[in-house]
């Protein structure tokens, strides 16, 4: 087999590897999109064993979002949802009492409608806000065995009833309300089920107003002090599996391992904890005021519809509710059982030092940081030993093994740098030159098509200066050493995401050990080794990259016009792409300088073609809409009226829309200049601090000559303080 290079040229080798490059991402995509079959039967066929039914959950979501509608805090619909929820809670209590009467099971269901007022400090987006709320309500159901011991340590399960303008909130968060109700139905109908520890189901009615409802419960409800852990159910999208993106103790990570369809990673936890998402949930209030641990789970796929009018049941993917319901039920069942760690959390909890992730199918792995450091350290040492004792290439005079490895590391590093630089050049071209930024917005995977060829081109170009000077196998082993070192170094800094490099380098190490089985020369690398060595790095990066892009691409539509969205996504594609193809650089050196030059030319053509394609593409469509904010304001003193217009993205064309509106309704024939947005721009206080991401226009409107404002002549506004207290300790 020593003549394999003469048998396999560059094109035939790529064709040989093509099944890996195609099948592995496809497998990852299929795994990502797999959801359970929706159930409509309340009981398992032929038994009296109840089961989660998606039809029941979506029925609740449809009623709240379409029959009642927008449930914005303080509206009539908000009050209607409150009344409806009280009725549902009392039905649960009645069913519970019937079960006890018929079976004598140890069950007690209590209903509490909490109403109260309060205030709290809320830090958000680097700004400090002071929130005051009056006469808000929560509906709470507690299920226990009826004993004081059973109520002493409780699990809290939370979802919110309200929605935000302009969204009917079918997914955010009516689907979670339906999940909680169906979990209670299944638990009560399960023969012989009795909770060792109480479960408190909190239907809080003011999350979108900056978590007032959860603050009210945490600070004023008598049951709150018994909560030891929380499961928070949320939604920022309408498709896919719900993601575990916060797990704040090792006990809760272990509890999550009992769900039937796990989907959570330490990567998501660390990304969310970094604050880059610029979002938050009720989980924060429970942590801050109750000092409890928990799990924060949310539906995140297709977040184009997050806080939009199309957040309707018809746009919720079949199987989503079933997936969330079954996982939530499993967590409640475990955490209220005699195996639950709930009592151990009464004295507080410690932050987790655990690496955890879901892999293909339902595989869920977790291990401690200490174990990770040992494993990664052993792999690094084994890799160093492997390189040292198997190195058999001719070494130039005056050079040693590590000098040669250092030169290879230099070539690899320049290739990685090019992987980041080239897509950012494309981003500059799209944004500054062609004025076609965000052209990839309507498809989460579209940025891979735009920036992927540029990433490859950036890796190829630097290698042109090293071909023939560094042996292919030296580059291979250099990548192995660099990846194992990165895994160990990052883990030593207690960054759990170091597992990405470990999961890539471990199979690479194994393939390096087995490579001699496929070749006769000790310095050769078999083509089959490339195929085997690429499978797991590509699979791991695809499993991580698909949901990451699914979150971040729609997020750019609400990051503001000034945000460098194209560069953010370009860097993200590079970050996800580089670990996916660790063997690309040694493969580039396999066929010589001429083949590499051809590769550079072909990749350049592909990059140019992708730029041309996306320059003719519109960012938005009916299901991937632009977010436009409109305020109609009247100055009751001067009678002036203005239309305030703003967008939350940097896509081109908004100025044209403003110009057309000005010509139709304004007092001038052209659009005014954008207004400076800062903390002192009071026109957009209703959206503060999110208003910092807007680039608004202020359009003067024509006012009829004899117009008289309805807000004057005895109906003037007056502002006065009914409570003025300062808490210097609490900061409120």
Structure tokens at 452: 């992927």
Residue-wise DSSP of 534-560: HHHHHHHHHHHHHHHHHHHHHHGGGS-
Contact residues for 466 (Cβ-Cβ < 8 A; gap 6+): 411, 589
| Nearest Cα residue to 475 out of 393, 598, 579, 380 | 393
38 vs 366: CA distance, rounded Å: 29
Residues facing residue 229 across a β-bridge: 155, 293
Could you count the other beta carbons within 10 Å of the beta carbon of residue 344?
12
DSSP state for residue 174 in the 8-state scheme:
I
Neighbours of 526 (CB within 10 A): 18
Q: How many helices (H) and strands (E) does the chain have?
A: 21, 12
CA atoms within 13 A on the CB side of 488: 18
Please give the Cα distance from 315 to 1 (Å, whole number): 56
Q: Count the neighbouring beta carbons within 10 Å of the beta carbon of residue 531.
A: 18
Q: Is the peptide bond before 173 cis (omega within 30 degrees of 0)?
A: yes
Q: Is 655 considered catalytic here?
A: no
Closest CA to 354 of 342, 372, 340, 341: 372
Nearest-CA neighbor of 537 among 577, 581, 499? 581
Burial 619-643 (b: 16+ CB within 10 A, else e): bbeeebebbebeeeebeeeeeebbb
Bridge-based pairing of strands 127-144 and 198-204 is antiparallel
Closest CA to 206 of 106, 313, 316, 115: 115
Q: Which helix (H) or strand (E) holds 198?
A: strand 198-204
Catalytic pick from 207, 234, 287, 326? 207
Helix axis angle for 283-290 and 212-220, nearest 10°, is 30
Cβ-count burial 113-130 (b if 16+ within 10 Å, e if not): bbebebbbebebeeeeee
Catalytic residues, by residue number, are 207
């Amino acid at each position: 087999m020593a003549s394999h290079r003469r048998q396999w040229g560059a094109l035939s080798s790529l064709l040989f590897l093509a099944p890996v490059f195609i099948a592995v991402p496809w497998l990852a995509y299929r795994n990502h999109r797999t959801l359970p079959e929706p159930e409509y039967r309340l009981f398992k066929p032929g038994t009296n064993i109840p089961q989660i039914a998606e039809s029941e959950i979506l029925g609740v979501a449809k009623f709240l979002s379409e029959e009642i509608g927008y449930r914005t805090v303080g509206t009539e619909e908000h009050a209607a949802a409150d009344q409806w929820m009280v009725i549902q809670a009392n039905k649960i209590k009645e069913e519970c009492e019937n079960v006890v009467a018929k079976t004598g099971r140890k069950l007690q269901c209590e209903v509490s409608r909490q109403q109260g007022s309060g205030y709290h400090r809320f830090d958000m987006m680097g700004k400090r806000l002071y929130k005051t709320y009056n006469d808000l309500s929560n509906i709470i159901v507690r299920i226990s065995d009826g004993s004081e011991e059973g109520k002493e340590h409780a699990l809290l399960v939370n979802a919110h009833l309200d929605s935000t303008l302009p969204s009917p909130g079918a997914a955010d968060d009516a689907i979670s309300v339906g999940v909680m109700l169906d979990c209670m139905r299944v638990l009560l109908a399960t023969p012989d089920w009795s909770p060792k520890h109480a479960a408190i189901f909190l239907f809080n009615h003011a999350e979108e107003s900056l978590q007032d409802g959860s603050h009210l419960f945490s600070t004023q409800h008598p049951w709150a002090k018994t909560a030891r852990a929380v499961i928070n159910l949320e939604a920022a999208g309408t498709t896919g599996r719900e993601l575990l993106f916060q797990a704040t103790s090792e006990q809760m990570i272990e509890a999550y391992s009992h769900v039937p369809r796990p989907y959570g990673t330490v990567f998501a936890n660390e990304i969310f904890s970094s604050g880059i998402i610029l979002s938050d949930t009720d989980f924060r209030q429970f942590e801050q005021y109750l000092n409890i641990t928990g799990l924060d789970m949310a539906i995140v796929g297709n977040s184009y519809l997050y806080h939009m009018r199309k957040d309707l049941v018809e746009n919720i993917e079949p199987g989503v509710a079933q997936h969330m319901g079954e996982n939530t039920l499993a967590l409640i069942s475990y955490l209220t059982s005699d195996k639950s760690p709930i009592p151990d959390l009464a004295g507080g909890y410690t932050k987790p030092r655990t690496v955890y992730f879901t892999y293909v199918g339902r595989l869920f792995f977790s291990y401690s940081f200490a174990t990770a450091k040992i494993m990664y350290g052993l792999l690094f040492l084994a890799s160093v030993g492997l390189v040292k004792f198997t190195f058999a290439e001719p070494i130039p005079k005056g050079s040693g093994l590590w000098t040669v490895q250092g030169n290879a590391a230099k070539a690899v590093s320049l290739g990685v740098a090019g992987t980041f630089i080239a897509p950012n050049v494309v981003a500059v071209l799209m944004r500054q030159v062609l004025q076609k930024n965000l052209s990839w917005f309507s498809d989460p995977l579209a940025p891979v098509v735009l920036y992927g060829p540029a990433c490859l081109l950036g890796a190829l170009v630097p290698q042109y200066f090293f071909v023939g000077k560094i042996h292919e196998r030296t580059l291979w082993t250099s990548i192995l050493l660099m990846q194992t070192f990165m895994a160990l170094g990052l883990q030593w800094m207690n960054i759990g995401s170091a597992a990405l490099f470990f999961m890539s380098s471990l199979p690479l190490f194994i393939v390096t050990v087995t490579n001699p089985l496929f070749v006769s020369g000790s310095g050769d690398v078999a083509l089959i080794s490339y195929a085997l060595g690429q499978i797991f790095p590509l699979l791991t990066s695809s499993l991580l990259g698909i949901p990451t892009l699914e979150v971040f691409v729609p997020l750019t539509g609400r990051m503001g016009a000034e945000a460098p969205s194209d560069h953010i996504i370009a860097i993200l594609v590079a970050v996800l792409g580089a670990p996916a193809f660790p063997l690309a650089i040694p493969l580039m050196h396999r066929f010589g300088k001429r083949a590499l030059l051809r590769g550079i030319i072909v990749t350049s053509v592909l990059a140019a073609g992708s730029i041309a394609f996306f320059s003719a593409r519109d960012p938005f469509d009916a299901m991937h809409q632009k977010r436009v904010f409109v305020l109609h304001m009247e100055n009751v003193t001067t009678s002036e009226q203005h239309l305030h217009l703003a967008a939350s993205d940097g896509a081109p064309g908004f100025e044209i829309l403003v110009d057309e509106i000005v010509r139709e309704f304004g007092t001038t024939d052209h659009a005014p200049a954008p207004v400076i947005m800062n903390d002192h721009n009071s026109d957009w206080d209703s959206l503060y601090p999110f208003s910092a991401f807007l680039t608004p226009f202020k359009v003067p409107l024509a006012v009829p000559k004899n117009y008289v404002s309805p807000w004057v002549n005895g109906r003037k506004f007056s502002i006065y303080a009914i409570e003025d207290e300062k808490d210097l300790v609490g900061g409120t």
